[in-house]
Structure 1
Amino acid sequence: MWEIVTTGQSGATVSRRDGVYRKTSNDPRDDLPGEAARLTWLRAHGIPAAQVLSSAPGLLETAEVPGLPASDYRHGVVDALADFTRVLHALPIADCPFDRRLAVTIPAALAADVDLDDLDDERAGWTRDELVAQLHATRPVQEDLVVCHGDLCLPNVVLDREGSQVTGLIDVGRLGVADRWTDLALMTRSLSDPGLNPGYGPWAADRFLTRYGIAPDPAKNDFYRLLDEFF
């Protein structure tokens, strides 16, 4: 019998049985064959990710990734996440066939429905028109392009039980070439919220950026969190 998985924030239905994870969705925006292609590409480039067992429109089955989600706090997790993010971002963008530049993601955002009941606290009560206006007004002029996960948050990274090494990535449907702050903004948001991920807090986001080796960029940080509201 398949057991429903309730952790994570994927819009698809996720279930597991005997070491196999199954993701299903009737939403055409959930490109599960595209996610399968991204998982396969990552593994071919030496990045640990879930092994694809089968895929079809509306269906993706992967082998279980050994370990625990990064949201299960353990000592050393923040440093391991930062180190791994640097490795991911060092992959050659010329080899990545998946495009998530703003020329792609902004039109997709404008075509998407937005759950106005699930906005970040700082945008609670905003209308869709207000979100769109802010998106246009704050769009960065330049993109610092790397290979990004696209939804880099604690539940989407699996580490060994010691919390010292990443054993795999999951939910990679938005992986592609994008500004590095696509990942940095979402991971620091995930690390900053002890209500969502107990054991963490603002200190963890600061440590992550320091370990990664980059200064805060409030403008890009805010923009890419805003863009995420549309997905």
Structure 2
Amino acid sequence: MWERVTIGQSGAAVSRRAGVYRKTSDVEDLVGEGERLVWLRVQGIPAAEVLECEPGLLVTAEVPGRSAAEPWPDPDRIVDSLADFTRALHALPVADCPFDRSLAVTVPEALAADPDLDDLDDERAGWTRDRLVAELLATRPADEDLVVCHGDLSVPNVLFDPETGDVTGVVDAGRLGVADRWLDLAIATRSLVDERNSQYGPDAAARYLERCGTEPDPAKTAFYRLLDEFF
């Protein structure tokens, strides 16, 4: 019997049984997500194994390990592993990635989207769609530092070996593609300072960026977190 999974913010219906996860949706591009997971594994990046994939249905093998969102005895080790994983992902050759998530693609998608105004980040609580759109267009960066991005690199989407702390795989890769590295960095650092992940915090976010070899970029951080409101 399938057990419904209620953790997470995916728009799809997710259920699991005996080491298998099933995702169904009439809206999300699950074929595209399956293709991205397969591509990641071919590149040597740990990701969920696709067992079945067709329009409206994605079945994957359970990724071993525990989510970064769970309590860990050594949170710094998890932050370091997350940063090392990010660097490995961002080091993949852009020319080999067939998926485009640059602003030329994502901004038009955002302008056509209907964001959930009841689920905005605290700093944008109460904003209208028009205000979100105006801010998005006004703060769009003039340049993009393009790498291969996961696209939704929040801590629940990365799993780790309980013994070693190494990354065992990622899930929810439907937005993977070539984009500015700050698409991942902005979402990862937001997740690390989220009060729901209280084992981390601002120091963990700073540690993550330092290990990624990246200086803070407040403008791109704000923009890519704003862009995420539309997806």
TM-score, normalization: structure 2?
0.97
- Give the corresponding residue for 1:133: 134
Amino acid at match of 1:178: A
2:66 corresponds to: 68
Tell me the CA shift for residue 163 of structure 1.
5.7
Aligned residue for 2:196, secondary structure, equals coil
Q: Take 1:73 and 1:82, find their aligned partners in 2: how far apart are those partners?
A: 18
Deviations 1:162-185 (A, max 9, x none): 362100010000000000000000
CA distance in 1, matches of 2:217, 2:161: 31
Aligned residues: 228
Partner of residue 181, structure 1: 182
1:208 maps to a residue whose letter is Y
Q: Matches of 1:24 and 1:94 in 2, distance apart? A: 31
Is 1:112 the equivalent of 2:113? yes
Give the letter for the 1:79 counterpart.
D
Match of 1:94 in 2: 95
SS in 2 for 1:130: helix
SS state of the match for residue 150, structure 1?
coil
Q: How does 1:1-231 map to 2 (within 5 A)?
A: 1-27=1-27, 30-74=28-72, 75=74, 76-162=77-163, 164-193=165-194, 195-231=195-231
- RMSD over aligned CA atoms reads 0.8
Question: Structure 1 residue 56: deviation in Å?
Answer: 0.9
Distance 1:139 1:196 in 2: 29
Q: Report which stretch shifted further, 110-119 or 66-75.
A: 66-75
Q: Which runs of 5+ in 2 are unaligned?
A: none
For 1:56 and 1:77, the matched residues in 2 are separated by: 34
Q: Does the residue aligned with 1:155 lie in a helix, a strand or coil?
A: helix
Ranges in structure 1 where 5+ consecutive residues have no aligned partner? none
Q: Please give the alpha-carbon distance, in whole angstroms, between the structure 2 residues aligned to 1:46 and 1:115.
A: 35
The alignment partner of 2:34 has SS state of helix
CA distance in 1, matches of 2:166, 2:80: 9
Structure 1 position 9, deviation (Å):
1.4
Q: Structure 1, residues 13-46: CA drift from partner, whole Å, max 9, x if none?
A: 111011110001122xx10000000000000000
Check the 8 A contact 1:80/1:163 in 2, yes or no.
no
Letter in 2 for 1:37: E
Q: Which runs of 4+ in 1 moved over 2 A?
A: none
Q: CA deviation at 1:7?
A: 1.6
Cα 1:183–1:163 shift into 2, 3 Å = farther
How far did 1:198 drift? 2.6
SS at match of 1:117: coil
Paired with 1:164 and 1:20, the residues of 2 have a C-alpha distance of 23
Q: CA deviation at 1:5?
A: 1.1
TM-score, reference length from structure 1: 0.97
Distance 1:134 1:157 in 2: 30
Q: 1:73 offset after TM fit, Å?
A: 3.1
